[in-house]
Amino acid sequence: MSLRLFSAGLLAGVCLTGLAACNDYAGESGSQIMPRAEAQEVPASGVGVSSDVVKLHQGMLVMDTHLDTPAYFHSSDYNFSKRQSFEEDGTHVDLPRMKEGGLDGGFWVIFTPQGPLDEASYHAARNSALMRQTAIREMAAKYSDDVELAFTADDAERIAGEGKRVVFQSMENSYPLGTDVSLLETFYIGGLRMVGPVHFRDNQFADSATDVSGEKFGGLSPLGEELVKKANELGMILDGSHAADATVYDMIELSETPIILSHTGVDGIYDHYRNIPDELLMAVADSGGVIQINAYGGYLEALEPTPERTEALEELNAQYGDPINMDEDAMNAYREAREALDAEFPPPRSTFEKFMEHLLYALDKVGPDHVGMGADWDGGGGVDGMSDITFLPKVTAALLDAGYSEEDIAKIWSGNMLRLMRQAEEARTSELSSPDVLN
């Protein structure tokens, strides 16, 4: 089976409730693993960018705040050290492509699907999240000549300066913590430095942007407030991506340090549940926070599937029902059927130009001190014209063409995120540490 894996239907329930622009399914990474696209014509320069721009780009500290690639680390089909291809296997990130695209690293995601809110499910989610963190640390150990775990902002600059790739860790969906936020300490010791309370559905911590069943808490729950305080105590950046607007406002008000939206878009370009309105964008910036623009096609614009694909999806859903209720055998059968459907009726894709509309809109509204990039690589990110990380120099070229300075672009690529990290580090009160033990 290919790398385009499926989760236990995280988004299926949301889609069935009628989100008009909702993508078809959720991948194990936390978003959608986009199906195979037609091969693109790539200019001889690699991405159609001048050598001067490529040199400038390669000289910057280029970071992405949402890399879902750890979903592949325990897959026999994926090898981080070998150059792979989106057109062949749907992946976006590996070590050769990081070097080619000038990606110095970023936040590698510990994602756990949202499940029932009961003790048995919390325990299973906890185990899954701990295994995902272990996989990230195993990757860092296995490829220690080329990558290194990072625990502080200073670590990132040192590691990149040594020619290695930076491995921070983030948690997308705090569901695995159950009802005991002290478990966050365990993940901190393992290297976690960013945490988001919620994913596609409301959970025990907060309301989600894409759960249209109705507000559960009107923002953060009392337990979610404890989570924010614990993250501040540990010196973690708080991530409001996937959270309902009310939740993000609560996080801004309660957190002692600015928050980040690690992979989010703007309503000003496309009105979608996962994108934020101008007033919230301003509130994030006014509090010192940062929005990292994603490249997830279904959040960039309304993408209309062909009638044939729509009909096939309806038949598939009628046959298998909600994936969240499937056992392992049914899920395997569903995956195979969905693979065949996507091959026969490929979904529509957004474009690099539309991604840049979101990025430039946010920059125009709040300026280069409050914007960055979290494209959702290996979690559904990628568009025509920017199908994987080898195309990142195009972003630098487009920003230069839009009139942004080298200093501005350096902030967008990593400076703003590292500022937030330093603020979180300075505010921490915990004495816990993360031992750098890789063997």
Helix (H), strand (E) at residue 195: strand 192-196
Residue 4 has pLDDT above 90, yes or no: no
Q: pLDDT tens-digit profile of 254-301?
A: 999 999 999 999 999 999 999 999 999 999 999 999 999 999 999 999
| Three-state secondary structure readout of 232-280 | HHHCCEEECCCECHHHHHHHHHHCCCCCEEEEEEECCCCCCCCEECHHH
d(CA 283, CA 369): 14
Encoded tokens for 155: 């670590």
Q: Which residue has the tokens 């320069």?
A: 45
Encoded tokens for 282: 């301003």
Q: What is the mean pLDDT of residues 350-368?
A: 98
Tally of CA atoms within 13 A in the half-sphere of 122 that contains its CB: 14
Amino acid 46: pLDDT: 57
How distant is the alpha carbon of residue 376 from its chain centre? 4
First-to-last alpha carbon distance for the chain, in angstroms, is 31
Residue 10, domain member (yes or no): no
The chain-wide mean pLDDT, for the chain, equals 89
Predicted confidence band at 74 (pLDDT cuts at 50, 70, 90)? Answer: confident
The per-residue DSSP string of 324-339 comes to: GG--HHHHHHHHHHHH
Residue 432, domain member (yes or no): no
**CATH code, 259:** 3.20.20.140
d(CA 367, CA 9): 37
Q: What is the mean pLDDT of residues 339-357?
A: 92
Predicted confidence band at 437 (pLDDT cuts at 50, 70, 90)? Answer: low
Residue 150 has pLDDT above 80, yes or no: yes
Helix (H), strand (E) at residue 322: none
Residue 124 has pLDDT above 70, yes or no: yes
Residue 232, domain member (yes or no): yes
CB atoms under 10 Å from CB of 304, counted, come to 12
The per-residue DSSP string of 55-93 comes to: HHHHHS--EEEEE-GGGGTT-TT--TTS---HHHH----
Domain that includes residue 281, residue range = 26-35+55-303+350-427
Length of the chain: 439
Beta-carbon contacts of residue 61 (< 8 Å; ≥ 6 apart): 104, 156, 157, 160, 410, 413, 414, 415, 418
Amino acid 5: pLDDT: 33
Closest Cα to residue 185, out of 232, 142, 234, 139? 234
Amino acid 438: pLDDT: 56
Beta strands, E only, 90-178: 105-111, 147-149, 165-172
Q: Find the range with the poorest average confidence among 31-40, 156-165, 197-206, 345-354.
A: 31-40
Amino acid 35: pLDDT: 34
110, β-bridge pairs? 171
State the amino acid at position 46 in one-letter form. G
| Per-residue burial over 308-346, b = 16 or more CB atoms within 10 Å of its CB, e = otherwise | ebeebbeebbeebeebbebeeeebeebbeebeebbeebb
Amino acid 436: pLDDT: 74
Residue 248, domain member (yes or no): yes
Amino acid 87: pLDDT: 87
Residue 385 has pLDDT above 50, yes or no: yes
Residue 329, domain member (yes or no): no
**Angle at which helices 307-320 and 328-344 cross, to 10°:** 170
Residue 336, domain member (yes or no): no
Domain total for the chain? 1
**Angle at which helices 352-366 and 278-286 cross, to 10°:** 60
Residue 380, domain member (yes or no): yes
Whole-number Cα distances in Å, 70 to 67, 74, 295, 396, 438: 8, 8, 18, 26, 17
d(CA 56, CA 102): 10
Q: Find the range with the poorest average confidence among 205-209, 234-238, 352-356, 434-438.
A: 434-438
Predicted confidence band at 2 (pLDDT cuts at 50, 70, 90)? Answer: very low
Encoded tokens for 309: 């694909």
d(CA 223, CA 243): 15
Residue 22 has pLDDT above 60, yes or no: no
Residue 320, domain member (yes or no): no
d(CA 287, CA 289): 6
